[in-house]
């Protein structure tokens, strides 16, 4: 050992180097498929939000007979539709 207390085996890689055998290889196709699934799920959430909002609007018009009750109107109608559309837009925008 010349001027160092470490054995030669411990100095084979410098601090900036990484052992590539330990890292799994990136699969660009799998990453693309995952991204597309997230986008499609976001689009599905947005579609569901539009359907909930449309159904709530039709309830207000009296198409289905009775008007929605107060709690349904406050919790299930437009707020739920808005949350679904916003969550879907966030997922689809990734």
Tens of pLDDT, residue by residue over 57-68, are 888 888 777 777
Determine contact, residues 66/91, Cβ cutoff 8 Å: no
Q: For 7, which DSSP code?
A: -
Domain count for the chain: 1
Q: Look at residue 92 and tell me if it is in a domain.
A: yes
At residue 12's C-alpha, the angle toward residues 10 and 16, to 5°, is 100
Q: What is the pLDDT of residues 33-57, one digit of tens each?
A: 999 999 999 999 999 999 999 988 8
Determine contact, residues 76/56, Cβ cutoff 8 Å: yes
Q: Look at residue 52 and tell me if it is in a domain.
A: yes
Q: Look at residue 17 and tell me if it is in a domain.
A: no
Question: Which strand (E) or helix (H) includes residue 42?
Answer: helix 28-61
The domain of 74 spans 45-94
């Amino acid at each position: 050992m010349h001027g160092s207390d470490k054995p030669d085996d411990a100095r084979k890689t410098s601090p900036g180097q990484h052992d590539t055998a330990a890292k799994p290889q990136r699969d660009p196709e799998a990453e693309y498929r995952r991204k597309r699934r997230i986008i499609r799920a976001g689009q599905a959430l947005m579609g569901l939000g539009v359907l909930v909002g449309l159904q709530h609007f039709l309830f207000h018009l009296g198409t289905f007979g009775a008007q929605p009750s107060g709690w349904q109107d406050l919790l299930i109608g437009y707020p739920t539709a808005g949350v679904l559309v916003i969550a879907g837009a966030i997922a689809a925008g990734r």
